[in-house]
Amino acid sequence: MTYRFIDTHCHFDFPPFTGNETASLARAASAGVEKIIVPAISAGRFSTVLSLASRHPTVYAALGLHPMYIEQHHDDALPALERLLAQQPEKVVAVGETGLDAYRETPDLPKQIAMLEAQFALAKRWQLPVILHSRRTHDKLAMLLRRASLPKTGVVHGFSGSFEQAIRFVELGYYIGVGGTITYPRAAKTRKAIARLPLDALVLETDAPDMPLNGWQGQPNRPERVAMIFDILCQLRSEYPEEIAEAVWKNTCALFPLVAQTT
């Protein structure tokens, strides 16, 4: 049986999709992926992401400044984001990808935090959810989210932490992005967390072309593989697949209302 899916996080503005968008969307659709959300990572990607959303009915955009590329975010990046959001472009469903990343040798967390809080302010002003990246920063991010008190909350994407870390986000009203991490048997901590979390807190994603699934290492990830992530999710959860599929669809539409309006 083929279920309906929304890939809530796919970098469709990068190879191998560039120049092959129509065929790639057809491949995704054949696996049940009806919609894709494409988060920008820098100001230089805004126009590309917006163009994809305008040209393809099943593609939606998010605009944000990714913490891993902090050096690329020059003084004009935040004003550029603010100007675009003020125009309220059609099919922009979130601010993101933003967040925190302490994985690198020189993360410059003070600058990351300042940029994240500025994007929180924009999300609050324009009543948009946030798409959040978090590596080795779950506790700090949860603290900042509590302080920000965003009206539309968001999703902690590509989650790979513990149940205790995840439930802290859920208690703040945030969703957990379920991706390729759960396809790895060695990721026991995250698999147990995803198995225990409330079903109404989960959304599906691929992070394509990144975050390859187990068995596909070394190859670009693709949006149609959200169906494989779903299969593993069903193995980890106690509910019936039909119930899980319906719940994650409804969760996504609740978080991203514009996607629901065009269902």
Instruction: Give the annotated binding-site residues for a divalent metal cation.
Output: 9, 11, 97, 133, 157, 207
Which of these, 255, 190, 217, lies nearest to 9 by C-alpha position? 255
Cα angle 259-8-72, degrees, rounded to a multiple of 5: 110
Distance CA 125, CA 128 (A): 8
- Annotated binding residues, as ranges? 9, 11, 97, 133, 157, 207
Cα angle 134-198-205, degrees, rounded to a multiple of 5: 45
Q: Residue 108: which region, alpha, beta or left (left: phi > 0; alpha: psi -120 to 50)?
A: left
Cα angle 210-69-161, degrees, rounded to a multiple of 5: 55
